[in-house]
Amino acid sequence: MTVDIPLVNGTTQCTVTAYSEKSYQATVKFYSQFLSLELETKDANSTTLRNSTVSLKVVLEGNAEKHAESEARFQELTGDLESADWRSLANSSLVFKAANVVQCKEALEGQGPGVQVQAYPTDLFPMELYVVDPVGNVVGVTRTKNAVSTMPTAPPASKGTFTSSVPSSAQSTSALSEIDEKSISAEVSEVTASASGPGEKAIAVMTSGGDAPGMNANVRAIVRTAIAKGCRAYVVMEGYEGLVRGGPEYIKQFSWEDVRGWSSEGGTNIGTARCKEFRERAGRLLGALHLIEAGVDALIVCGGDGSLTGADLFRSEWPSLLQELKETSKITSEQYTRYKHLNICGTVGSIDNDMSTTDATIGAYSSLDRICRAIDYIEATANSHSRAFVVEVMGRNCGWLALMAGIATSADYILIPEKPASSREWEEQMCDIVTKHRSRGKRTTIVIVAEGAIANDLTPISPNDVHKVLSQRLKLDTRVTTLGHVQRGGTAVAFDRILATLQGVEAVNAVLESNPDTPSPLIAINENKITRKSLVESVRQTKSVADAIQAQDFKKAMELRDTEFVEHLNNFMAVNSADHNPPNLPQDQRLKIAIVNVGAPAGGTNSAVYAMATYCMSQGHRPYAIYNGWSGLARHESVRSLDWKSMLGWQSRGGSEIGTNRCTPDEADIGLVAYYFQKYKFDGLIIVGGFEAFVSLHQLERARDNYPAFRIPMVLIPATLSNNVPGTEYSLGTDTALNALMDYCDVIKQSAASTRGRAFVVDVQGGNSGFLATNASLAVGAHVSYVPEEGISLEQLSQDIETLAESFQTAQGRRRFGKLILKSKNASKVFTPEVLADVITAEANGVFNAKSAIPGHVQQGGLPSPIDRTRATRLAVKAVDFIESRQEDIYKARADDDEFDPDDKEISSTAAVLGIRGSDVVFTSIRQLYDFETEIGKRMPKVIHWESTRAIADSLVGRKKVDVKN
Please say if the pLDDT value at position 102 is more than 90: no
Are the C-beta atoms of 764 and 854 separated by less than 8 Å? no
The pLDDT tens digits of the residues spanning 912-956 come to 999 999 889 999 999 999 999 999 999 999 999 998 899 999 999
pLDDT, greater one: 86 or 45: 45
Gyration radius (Cα) of the chain, Å: 33
For the domain made up of 200-360+493-540, the CATH class stated in words is alpha beta
How many whole angstroms separate alpha carbon 396 and alpha carbon 461? 13
Residue 424 is labelled as binding a ligand: no
Eight-class DSSP state of 897? G
- Give the CATH fold of the 368-487 domain: Rossmann fold (3.40.50)
How many whole angstroms separate alpha carbon 400 and alpha carbon 353? 7
Please say if the pLDDT value at position 45 is more than 70: yes
Q: How many residues does the chain have?
A: 966
Residue 112 is labelled as binding a ligand: no
Which range (42-51, 153-162, 218-227, 864-873) has the least confidence?
Answer: 153-162
The pLDDT tens digits of the residues spanning 708-757 come to 999 999 999 999 999 999 999 999 999 999 999 999 999 998 888 887 78
Q: Going by CATH, does the domain composed of 2-173 fall within 3.40.50.920? A: no
How many whole angstroms separate alpha carbon 697 and alpha carbon 720? 15
Residue 197 is labelled as binding a ligand: no
Distances (CA, A) of 30 to 6, 17, 40, 112, 750: 22, 13, 16, 11, 40
| Mean of pLDDT over the chain | 87
Boundaries of every domain in the chain:
2-173, 200-360+493-540, 368-487, 582-732+864-935, 736-861+949-955
Residue 440 is labelled as binding a ligand: no
pLDDT score recorded for residue 564? 85
The pLDDT tens digits of the residues spanning 117-157 come to 888 766 666 777 888 888 988 888 876 544 444 443 333 33
How many whole angstroms separate alpha carbon 315 and alpha carbon 410? 45
Angular region, 884: left φ>0, alpha ψ -120 to 50, beta rest: alpha
Burial label for 480, CB within 10 Å (0-12, 13-18, 19+), is: middle
How many whole angstroms separate alpha carbon 443 and alpha carbon 439? 9
Are the C-beta atoms of 202 and 232 separated by less than 8 Å? yes
At 394, the pLDDT band (50, 70, 90 cuts) reads very high
The pLDDT tens digits of the residues spanning 749-786 come to 888 888 778 899 999 999 999 999 999 999 999 999 99
The pLDDT of 875-899, averaged and rounded, is: 84
Q: If you average pLDDT over each of 106-120, 170-184, 576-590, which comes out highest?
A: 576-590
End-to-end CA distance of the chain: 59
Residues serving a catalytic function are: 352
The pLDDT tens digits of the residues spanning 15-28 come to 889 999 999 999 99
At 97, the pLDDT band (50, 70, 90 cuts) reads confident
Residue 867 is labelled as binding a ligand: no
Query: Fold identical between 2-173 and 368-487?
Result: no
Residue 191 is labelled as binding a ligand: no
How many whole angstroms separate alpha carbon 752 and alpha carbon 758? 5
**Cα diameter, the chain:** 117
pLDDT score recorded for residue 88? 66
Amino acid 856 reads: G
Residue 803 is labelled as binding a ligand: no
Eight-class DSSP state of 349? B
Residue 350 is labelled as binding a ligand: yes
Residue 464 is labelled as binding a ligand: no
pLDDT, greater one: 889 or 565: 565
pLDDT, greater one: 891 or 10: 891
**895 contact partners, CB below 8 Å, separation of at least 6:** none
Architecture per CATH, domain 736-861+949-955, reads as 3-Layer(aba) Sandwich (3.40)
3-state class (DSSP) for residue 771 = helix
At 964, the pLDDT band (50, 70, 90 cuts) reads low
Amino acid 520 reads: S
CA angle 821, 823, 825 (to 5 degrees): 160
Asked if the bond preceding 248 is cis, omega within 30° of 0, the reply is: no
Residue 870 is labelled as binding a ligand: no
For the domain made up of 582-732+864-935, the CATH class stated in words is alpha beta
